A and B are shown apart, each in its own frame.
Chain A
Amino acid sequence: MPGSVSTVIFAIKAGIRLYQAGEQVLVQNTADRALPLPLPIGEVSDEAGAQMWLKTNSDAKKLSERDDFSRLKALRSTDTGNWSKDDKEYVTTVYSGWQNDKSREAGYVTGKSVTTVEAAAYIEISQWSKTEDTGHTTALQRIAGTLVNIAVDYFIQTPGALNLDRPEGRALKGFLEAIDNTDFAGGAVESIAGDVLLAVLDAVKWEPDLIGKGETTQKFVKGIAASLGESTNKFLDNIHLLPDDERERRTAWLQMLAHAMVSGAANVVLTDPEKILGAGKEEAPVIKEVGGTMADLLLGGDDAQRLQFEALFSGEGLNEVVKASLKAVSENPAILGVNNRGLRQLIVDVSGELAQYDDLFARDMGPELIRLILEKTGADLPLLVGGSADNPKKNLLVLAASDLLANISEKSWTGGWHPTLTRDQVLDVAEDVFDEVLDNPYWLRKIQSVGGPDDTPLSVAIEAVVTSLKNTGKGDRLSSETVIAAIKAGVDAAAMDLALLKKVPDAAAGDARTALTAALDAVFDGIFADSSTAATRWRQAGNAALQATVELVLDEFAGVAAQQGVKSAQITRIQTDVRQWVDAILAGADPEQLIHDALLDAA
């Protein structure tokens, strides 16, 4: 939204007008509001019914004239106050038989069953009937005057805009048509209508190409108005009864969602309107579902979840997630999942994962991580997601992110040193990991020969690299770029040959390490072993050379291991030759062949 003083003042005026209109709507809604009317408590007596029947019913009279019902005849002429108990029971029995006969005659035996309507001792009654002419107004009519004032203010600021040949004019027309068809709950419409209008007008102001054709305008605005209308009905009904802070919170988030939906959809609408607006459909289903999902997350659920999502969607987060979701869902609507719970579940899972970490990188990476997962998920949906509506399966990429974060977060590094990773670095390695998962989904399945009972090849690979980085004892000399490069190289190498994740004997440590850890240890040991020259060598090598060395060594190690198997001699050879390879790199040579030959020779 533009931040000029005039626009802010205009927006404030618009809001005040809408809320004043809202008060009138509230009054009307209170007068019209349905109220429950209790039914009086009363007894229904078969005996009384039988007495009434015998005394007044023509069938009873006929019956009593039959010889076999002479007792009825006698009772008919006797004051009911003088009937004996037995008389009452007799007449009640005859009455009951007559009722059954009568019902059968009418083809109405006992009535069809009534199973789903719960008997209540009251009826909910509105002030007016549906057809009554009481000055009932639509949402548009209720706020029409106010909206006109707002629109006039807007168009005064933007001379010439009130013209259907101009984008703003068409947007306004689309908005008014859309909101007129949206069934807002009483008292809710004024809370959001102005914001949607402003968001639409802002969007077309900054993206005039957005509103190119009449139909696109109408569908785009209608989709957004419908989506926000549903959410408004759901979460802002009776808004005036909410506590101040809750009212402010809900309204603010829906306003932000309105802006995010318009700006997030703008690009996609410009690129491929049919994808997001839905060819041949009345409303824009993608916009509707994505908007509904976001509103549910922000305004539904319990307090703990809402706080989690508010953290995720703060700043530019909401815009990013909405934009990524609209793009991904428009390209692959199946991302919404069964009963549209897929997208929701993905966001719930990612925010749940990130909530576990205090790391700097975790604070603002949620939206980007969601975008990345949505993009990659679109590439192979059946592989990555599934499950039922009630129990959607966790997206494999969320599981991969979980493995990654668990191994690189600050709390996974014991001891003094840990790398300070940035959001972009973590996203960089996450993308690499996601690509590996897409190529090799088995990376997230338990494999008997790799790791412990809860480990996956991916978690073992990341842990193997991290273990080696810890083992160096020289972590403070490693840049965060080197750490990320090592993790990526380790994951890539293990993807090439899973044997790198199996344990190899470690004579020095007296314990077994994975081959990947052993190879990386060999690289670091080789470089840092001679403490007197290590610092000098380190200065010479720098992180760039070290990264190149790690990448080359692990790549060649995996290649040779895939052909010849993992051998301890290769590890030893890495340790003894690594300085030579670093020197070659520093001299500008590519020691790839050199490394390959040395490792092959050792194998």
Chain B
Amino acid sequence: MIRNRMLIAVLALVLAGCSTIQLRQAQDSYADAVQIESRIRNASDSGDSFMDLTAAQISYKKALADLDKVLAEKSGDLRANKLLGTARVMRALILWRITALDFHELSGICQKGAGGEVVDEPKDEMRKQWYGDLRSIGSDLDDKKIFLGTRDLTVYEALYALYAFDILKRINYKSTKLDVQCSIDWFNQSMSHFQKAAAIPGPDHDIQKWLALSNLTVQADYSARLSESVGIDQLLHAGYNPKASVLKAVCPAQDFWDDGEDEKDRAFLKQLREKAKGVGVVLTPETACP
């Protein structure tokens, strides 16, 4: 027993206030928030309730507060343990969810700069932080100040694609002032970042599933918004090819879609099919990837 008590005392000294534990707690808060969001979305999909994601937003904000605390107090420790990159990518993920669950349209999105370029600086605080985080992560990666594992690096790249999608979702497509070309630029940016992201992990990494579904979600949602407002022709004239784009989205995840005995694979294929239908493409297990 003496040995036991001493061991615990030593462990307590070693681990008390440990940055790793604080980061794990923030990871847990984030995971809880994801679960809450998923439950609400599933209940809404099954028609059980109207989708009110306020509870999920609050949970993400709590996760953000937990994470910000450890980042403020222990970023040196996290960096020393090569955990700073993981923490910062998770922060960007949380900011994505907080903004994504806010369904308000944004004004002044497709303004152009003096040179005619699209101004991509967000106007509201959360988006500013989100975009600022992404750029700062990119800069620190270039300077080798942080380290990212395969998942985190892929998520980092994909968050640019999702940032563009966030903009696409907030454009008022019924506005007569809408510059469709501006939205197409954002859409192309999104597709481009998804492709960069898909090139990071190997074909057997689970994250390919998330990328494929996210990519198809963006394509289907954007098509739906255009078809309800100005029509899809401008997008097609700008070079969008539904079948080629769907294949670019799903083929990196080909290892995971199969109509065989594995229910998970079948469920994944079913999800892909449903989203691909939204851009006029039918996927089958035999769909040939280039």
Q: In the assembled complex, which residues on chain B have CB atoms less than 8 Å from the CB atom of A127?
A: 86, 149-152
Q: Does A593 contact B (CB under 8 A)?
A: no
Q: Does A589 contact B (CB under 8 A)?
A: no
Query: Does A39 lie within 8 Å of B2, measured CB to CB?
Result: no
Query: Does A32 lie within 8 Å of B231, measured CB to CB?
Result: no
Docked pose: A290 CA to B137 CA in angstroms: 51
How many chain B residues have a CB neighbour from A under 8 Å? 95
Binds A, one of B24-32, B105-113, B126-134: B24-32
Binary interface encoding of chain B residues 17-61 relative to chain A, with 1 for a CB under 8 A from any of its CBs, else 0: 010110111011011001101100110010000000000000000
Binary interface encoding of chain B residues 225-237 relative to chain A, with 1 for a CB under 8 A from any of its CBs, else 0: 1111111110010
Binds B, one of A246-254, A334-342, A429-437, A527-535: A246-254
Q: In the assembled complex, which residues on chain A have CB atoms less than 8 Å from the CB atom of B149?
A: 31-32, 127-128, 134
Q: In the assembled complex, which residues on chain A have CB atoms less than 8 Å from the CB atom of B281?
A: 49, 52-53
Docked pose: A11 CA to B6 CA in angstroms: 10
Binary interface encoding of chain B residues 179-201 relative to chain A, with 1 for a CB under 8 A from any of its CBs, else 0: 00000000000000000000001
Query: Does B20 lie within 8 Å of A112, measured CB to CB?
Result: no
By secondary structure, the B interface counts as helix
Query: Does B3 lie within 8 Å of A12, measured CB to CB?
Result: yes
Query: Does B280 lie within 8 Å of A51, measured CB to CB?
Result: yes
Q: In the assembled complex, which residues on chain B have CB atoms less than 8 Å from the CB atom of A114?
A: 263, 266-267, 270
**Closest beta carbon of chain A to B234's beta carbon, Å:** 8
Docked pose: A117 CA to B262 CA in angstroms: 10
Docked pose: A576 CA to B6 CA in angstroms: 71
Query: Does B228 lie within 8 Å of A26, measured CB to CB?
Result: no
**Closest beta carbon of chain B to A148's beta carbon, Å:** 19
Query: Does B225 lie within 8 Å of A19, measured CB to CB?
Result: no
Q: Which partner residue on chain B sits nearest A33 by CB separation?
A: B27
Name the one of A40, A108, A122 contacting B218, with C-beta atoms under 8 angstroms: A40
Query: Does B11 lie within 8 Å of A120, measured CB to CB?
Result: no
Q: In the assembled complex, which residues on chain B have CB atoms less than 8 Å from the CB atom of A412?
A: none
Q: Does A116 contact B (CB under 8 A)?
A: yes
Name the one of B24, B31, B42, B282 contacting A241, with C-beta atoms under 8 angstroms: B24
Query: Does A44 lie within 8 Å of B220, measured CB to CB?
Result: yes
Docked pose: A244 CA to B14 CA in angstroms: 13
Name the one of B4, B97, B224 contacting A251, with C-beta atoms under 8 angstroms: B4
Name the one of A30, A56, A111, A121 contacting B242, with C-beta atoms under 8 angstroms: A56
Q: Which partner residue on chain A sits nearest B81 by CB separation?
A: A27
Q: In the assembled complex, which residues on chain A have CB atoms less than 8 Å from the CB atom of B74?
A: none
Q: Does B221 contact A (CB under 8 A)?
A: yes
Query: Does A49 lie within 8 Å of B280, measured CB to CB?
Result: yes
Docked pose: A14 CA to B257 CA in angstroms: 48
Q: Which of B1, B201, B210, B243 has the most CB of A within 10 A?
A: B210
Q: Does A181 contact B (CB under 8 A)?
A: no
Q: Does A164 contact B (CB under 8 A)?
A: no
Name the one of B24, B31, B82, B280 contacting A240, with C-beta atoms under 8 angstroms: B24
**Closest beta carbon of chain B to A244's beta carbon, Å:** 6
**Closest beta carbon of chain A to B255's beta carbon, Å:** 10
Q: Does B83 contact A (CB under 8 A)?
A: yes
Q: Which partner residue on chain B sits nearest A82 by CB separation?
A: B231
User: Which residues of A90-132 are within 8 A (CB) of B?
Assistant: 95, 99, 102-103, 106-108, 111-112, 114-117, 119-132
Name the one of A102, A121, A126 contacting B42, with C-beta atoms under 8 angstroms: A121
Q: Does B119 contact A (CB under 8 A)?
A: no
Q: In the assembled complex, which residues on chain B have CB atoms less than 8 Å from the CB atom of A108?
A: 259, 284-286
Docked pose: A88 CA to B231 CA in angstroms: 11
Q: In the assembled complex, which residues on chain B have CB atoms less than 8 Å from the CB atom of A111?
A: 259, 266, 269-270, 273
Q: Does B90 contact A (CB under 8 A)?
A: yes
Q: Does A511 contact B (CB under 8 A)?
A: no
Docked pose: A361 CA to B5 CA in angstroms: 31
Chain B positions near chain A (C-beta within 8 angstroms): 1-8, 10-12, 14-15, 18, 20-21, 23-25, 27-28, 30-31, 34-35, 37-38, 41-42, 45, 81-83, 86, 90, 93, 97, 100, 149-152, 155, 162, 165, 169, 201-202, 204-207, 209-210, 213-214, 217-218, 220-221, 223-233, 236, 241-243, 259, 263-264, 266-267, 269-271, 273-275, 277-282, 284-286
The 8 closest A-B pairs by CB, nearest first: A81-B231, A53-B280, A42-B221, A52-B280, A80-B231, A45-B224, A48-B227, A129-B205
